[in-house]
Amino acid sequence: MKKDKEDIKIKKRKDTKDLLNINSFINRSIEFNREHHNELDNISYWNLIRKYWFIILIVLLITILLIYKIIKLVI
């Protein structure tokens, strides 16, 4: 009987410790997201366009050509 009580106490302690670890992990995750959210806001579409303008141009040309071919086939 005494051993059962000790086992239950040990299990409760372990469960509490696990919950505290999970809680601290969640708190760290929330803090990390708060810190890096501002960095994501600073990225603008203009910077991305300036960086990848050549790829965007090629994709636009390909889509225009495809649309032209489809229209030509239909007519």
Per-residue model confidence (pLDDT) at position 18: 64
Give me the pLDDT at residue 66, please: 94
Hey, where are the domains in the chain? 1-42, 51-75
The predicted pLDDT at position 49 comes to: 78
User: 23-57, pLDDT tens digit by residue?
Assistant: 777 777 777 767 666 555 556 777 777 888 898 89
Report the distance separating Cα 72 and Cα 66, nearest Å: 10
Query: Would you state the structure tokens that stand for residue 29, as one six-digit string?
Result: 């995750």
Distance from the first to the final alpha carbon of the chain: 90
Task: State the average pLDDT for the chain.
Answer: 74
Of the given ranges (15-24, 25-34, 56-65, 66-75), which has the lowest mean pLDDT?
15-24
